[in-house]
Protein backbone atom coordinates (compact mmCIF):
# COMPACT_ATOMS: atom_id res chain seq x y z
CA UNK A 1 0.00 0.00 0.00
CA UNK A 2 3.06 2.23 0.24
CA UNK A 3 2.89 4.81 -2.51
CA UNK A 4 -0.75 4.02 -3.36
CA UNK A 5 -3.64 6.33 -2.62
CA UNK A 6 -6.83 5.01 -1.04
CA UNK A 7 -8.77 4.85 -4.31
CA UNK A 8 -5.99 2.85 -5.98
CA UNK A 9 -5.96 0.39 -3.09
CA UNK A 10 -9.75 -0.02 -3.28
CA UNK A 11 -9.63 -0.66 -7.03
CA UNK A 12 -6.79 -3.14 -6.61
CA UNK A 13 -8.76 -4.99 -3.91
CA UNK A 14 -11.91 -5.05 -6.04
CA UNK A 15 -10.01 -6.60 -8.95
CA UNK A 16 -8.42 -9.15 -6.62
CA UNK A 17 -11.76 -9.97 -5.00
CA UNK A 18 -13.52 -10.60 -8.31
CA UNK A 19 -10.99 -13.30 -9.12
CA UNK A 20 -10.79 -14.80 -5.62
CA UNK A 21 -11.93 -18.44 -5.39
CA UNK A 22 -10.70 -19.40 -1.90
CA UNK A 23 -13.85 -19.83 0.19
CA UNK A 24 -11.98 -19.60 3.50
CA UNK A 25 -10.58 -16.19 2.56
CA UNK A 26 -14.02 -15.06 1.39
CA UNK A 27 -15.52 -16.21 4.70
CA UNK A 28 -12.87 -14.26 6.64
CA UNK A 29 -13.50 -11.16 4.55
CA UNK A 30 -17.26 -11.47 5.13
CA UNK A 31 -16.64 -11.73 8.87
CA UNK A 32 -14.42 -8.66 8.78
CA UNK A 33 -17.10 -6.75 6.86
CA UNK A 34 -19.81 -7.75 9.37
CA UNK A 35 -17.57 -6.84 12.29
CA UNK A 36 -16.85 -3.43 10.75
CA UNK A 37 -20.51 -2.76 10.05
CA UNK A 38 -21.67 -3.84 13.50
CA UNK A 39 -18.98 -2.05 15.46
CA UNK A 40 -21.02 1.14 15.83
CA UNK A 41 -24.38 -0.36 16.70
CA UNK A 42 -25.61 -0.02 20.28
CA UNK A 43 -28.70 -1.50 21.84
CA UNK A 44 -31.43 0.84 23.07
CA UNK A 45 -30.39 0.00 26.63
CA UNK A 46 -26.75 0.90 25.92
CA UNK A 47 -27.74 4.18 24.29
CA UNK A 48 -29.97 5.03 27.23
CA UNK A 49 -27.15 4.29 29.69
CA UNK A 50 -24.70 6.45 27.74
CA UNK A 51 -27.22 9.28 27.46
CA UNK A 52 -27.80 9.18 31.22
CA UNK A 53 -24.08 9.25 31.95
CA UNK A 54 -23.51 12.12 29.51
CA UNK A 55 -26.32 14.10 31.14
CA UNK A 56 -24.79 13.56 34.61
CA UNK A 57 -21.36 14.59 33.28
CA UNK A 58 -22.73 17.78 31.72
CA UNK A 59 -24.47 18.66 35.00
CA UNK A 60 -21.26 18.10 36.95
CA UNK A 61 -22.80 15.21 38.90
CA UNK A 62 -20.16 12.61 37.98
CA UNK A 63 -17.60 11.50 40.53
CA UNK A 64 -14.18 10.50 39.31
CA UNK A 65 -11.36 8.60 41.00
CA UNK A 66 -7.63 8.74 40.34
CA UNK A 67 -6.31 5.75 38.39
CA UNK A 68 -4.21 4.51 41.33
CA UNK A 69 -7.31 4.44 43.53
CA UNK A 70 -9.23 2.47 40.90
CA UNK A 71 -6.38 -0.06 40.54
CA UNK A 72 -6.24 -0.56 44.30
CA UNK A 73 -10.01 -1.04 44.48
CA UNK A 74 -9.88 -3.69 41.73
CA UNK A 75 -6.97 -5.49 43.36
CA UNK A 76 -8.76 -5.55 46.73
CA UNK A 77 -11.94 -6.95 45.15
CA UNK A 78 -9.89 -9.64 43.42
CA UNK A 79 -8.20 -10.60 46.72
CA UNK A 80 -11.58 -10.76 48.47
CA UNK A 81 -12.97 -12.98 45.72
CA UNK A 82 -10.23 -15.55 46.25
Does 70 map to a domain? no
- The string of pLDDT tens digits covering residues 10-22 is 999 999 999 999 9
Residue 75: pLDDT above 80? yes
Instruction: Average the pLDDT over 25-34 and give the result.
Output: 91
Reduced 3-state DSSP string for the chain: CCCCCHHHHHHHHHHHHHHCCCHHHHHHHHHHHHHHHHCCCCCHHHHHHHHHHHHHHHHCCCCCCCHHHHHHHHHHHHHHHC
Does 49 map to a domain? yes
Domain count, the chain: 1
Its domain, for residue 28, covers: 1-61
- The string of pLDDT tens digits covering residues 32-54 is 888 887 667 788 999 999 999 99
Amino acid sequence: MIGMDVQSVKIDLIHWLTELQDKSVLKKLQGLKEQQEGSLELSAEQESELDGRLEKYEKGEMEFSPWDTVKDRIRNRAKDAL
